[in-house]
Amino acid sequence: MDISFLGHSCFRLRGKDVTLITDPYQFALGRPPLRLQAEIVTISHDHPGHNNAAVVSGNPKVIQGPGEYEIRSVLITGVATFHDGVSGRERGRNTIYVIQMEDVRLCHLGDLGHVLNAEQIDEIGSVDVLFVPARGAVLDMSRASEVISQIEPSIIVPMHFQAADEEGLASIEKFCHEMGLRQIVPQPKLAVTKTSIPQETQVIVMDVRQ
């Protein structure tokens, strides 16, 4: 499948027969409005930066919340979490999505605000590609590192940052430094198959495209 980063926490996962969009936004700093088409949309939480399913044409199936789903041979598990570290009392709930598509397991953390408990780790299971917030406003660097260690993905893709502004650029540089990536070369697209999954964990920064 081909993976494109559309900004904020929005990705396009394009397989042979189906396209899935994660967290389409109503607005994002410095980005033009989204115009997308897909068969499936996942929404991690009800916030304008993540819940704009109306921008996706093609009469997609919209998934918004925990549960198990199967749509056009794509298996999706929504794992209940919180948007903060105090059981949702400040920012409410968040759903992590584990997406199994063409034998690749992808995990989108949404706006996760805490480290995972044992039950959540078990629900998530093995992960090939992990989309993780990198800006620090939602999940600070220490907790992001711990979550990554809990999940042990093969590929880490940072999200929820805007490299176009100084604060966003600083956040992604700090994230990559903490992850051991010394040189940042944004990739326009990520092609992933089960046989191409690396043996050692890699951090891949993606350029924002539409």
Q: Structure pTM?
A: 0.91
Candidates 127, 134, 161; CA nearest to 112 is 134
Q: What are the structural domains of the chain?
A: 2-203 (3.60.15.10)
Q: What is the pLDDT along the chain (210 residues), one digit of tens a residue?
A: 999 999 889 999 999 999 999 999 987 656 677 889 999 999 999 888 889 999 999 999 999 999 999 999 999 999 999 987 887 778 779 999 999 999 999 999 999 999 999 999 999 999 999 999 886 556 788 888 899 999 999 999 999 875 545 555 566 777 877 787 777 778 899 999 999 999 998 999 898 876
Q: In whole angstroms, give the CA distance from residue 89 to residue 132.
A: 22
**Location of structure tokens 């499948």:** 1
Q: In whole angstroms, give the CA distance from residue 156 to residue 158.
A: 6
Q: In whole angstroms, give the CA distance from residue 197 to residue 185.
A: 19
Q: In whole angstroms, give the CA distance from residue 109 to residue 107.
A: 6
Phi, psi of 82 (to 5 degrees): -125, 155
Joined together, the tokens standing for residue 17 give 């027969």
Which residues make Cβ contacts (< 8 Å) with residue 44, sequence separation at least 6?
A: 9, 22, 23, 50, 94, 95, 96, 97, 108, 109, 110, 111
Contact indicator for 78, 97 with CB cutoff of 8 Å: yes
What are the b/e assignments for 178-208, b being 16+ CB within 10 Å? ebebeeeeeeeebebeeeebeeeeebbbbeb
- Please report, as a single letter, which amino acid is at residue 99: I
